[in-house]
Amino acid sequence: METHNLTYASEFHLLGFSEDPDVQPILFGLFLSMYLVTVLGNLLIFLAISCDSHLHTPMYFFLSSLSIVDICFASTMAPKMIADIPVHSRVISYVGCLTQMSFFNIFGCMDDLLLTVMAYDRFVAICHPLHYAVIMNPRLCVLLLLVCVFISLLDSLLHVLVVMQFTCFKTVEIDNFFCHPTQILNLSCSDSLIKTLVTYFLTATLGFFPISGVLFSYCKIISSILKISSSGGRYKAFSTCSSHLSVVSLFYGNGVGVYLGLAFPSSHSKGMVASLMYILVTPMLNPFIYSLRNRDIINTLMRVHRWRI
């Protein structure tokens, strides 16, 4: 296969969902609608939490942070994908690809770590309710958020530094609608030991440890819920973490689908759909999951609506 030195080949070519001109307007309308719902839904959750002092608690602090991260995560890839459809161009510059990859790593990692922190918050609330206010104090909440930001920036920086070491690529065609870090690394001609070590290290660190933290938290939560004597008490305790558990299942389920598709590239269309689910569908559904299952947010949204009327 022909190699391209980035001194001359300064751009990559992204693959779209369909080349059929009759399908293009449908895809444009569908993706634009999904993106707008994602932005408006998460923004509404953030504004509702910000406007209601009763929601200024650790759980809602992390939820509002997750909403902003979801907006940024979807905005990293969706606008480029939507804008390319009417102009029939899927070219992205080398610098633009690195930038997109960098922001994908930052906000994807932030999503991952915030869900882990939110699992810890639910663990403390259910397993140590009398000490919840002391343990989850505002200083710790801000510190946990800053740690998530720092680790995410470090992850992004390591990926970019590794990619910048390679100037020769097997092809300039990326089998996706955005610059996925793993695919960019796989396109490089060199079988660098550094590339392999960094890939496995980051996968283990940002995959194994967050998932382990979530699983550990929910094992303790389930154990504590089962010790509650009344069925009403068990239901109330479980309802406080059901929304988070749904979001975690959706996020990791789609995330595993994306990385399995990259590891075993058997179908181009399946990989594209898995990526779309991970990048756009999951952030779009998160506000609905939290608002439909949370009476506090529903009441706040209703009050905000009445004030505007």
Q: Which residue has the tokens 């690394």?
A: 185
What pLDDT score does 237 carry? 75
What pLDDT score does 65 carry? 94
What pLDDT score does 7 carry? 43
What pLDDT score does 92 carry? 86
Domain contains 5 = no
Which among 30, 109, 112 is positioned nearest to 276, based on CA atoms? Answer: 30
What pLDDT score does 165 carry? 75
Domain contains 7 = no
Residue range 204-257, pLDDT digits in tens: 667 788 888 899 999 999 888 888 877 777 777 777 788 888 888 888 888 777
What pLDDT score does 304 carry? 60
What's the CATH number where 103 sits? 1.20.1070.10
What pLDDT score does 273 carry? 79
Domain contains 194 = yes
Given a contact cutoff of 8 angstroms between Cβ atoms, the answer to whether 90 and 14 are in contact is yes
The domain tally of the chain equals 1
Domain contains 4 = no
Domain contains 302 = yes
Low-confidence ranges of the chain (pLDDT < 50): 1-8, 309
What pLDDT score does 233 carry? 75
Its domain, for residue 121, covers: 12-308
Written in H, E and C, the secondary structure of the chain is CCCEECCCCCEEEECCCCCCCCCHHHHHHHHHHHHHHHHHHHHHHHHHHHHCHHHCCHHHHHHHHHHHHHHHHHHHHHHHHHHHHHHCCCEEEHHHHHHHHHHHHHHHHHHHHHHHHHHHHHHHHHHCHHHHHHHCCHHHHHHHHHHHHHHHHHHHHHHHHHHCCCCEECCCEECCCCCCHHHHHHHECCCCHHHHHHHHHHHHHHHHHHHHHHHHHHHHHHHHHHCCCCHHHHHHHHHHHHHHHHHHHHHHHHHHHHHHHHHCCCCHHHHHHHHHHHHHHHHHHHHHHHHHCCHHHHHHHHHHHHHHC
What pLDDT score does 34 carry? 93
What pLDDT score does 219 carry? 92
Domain contains 156 = yes
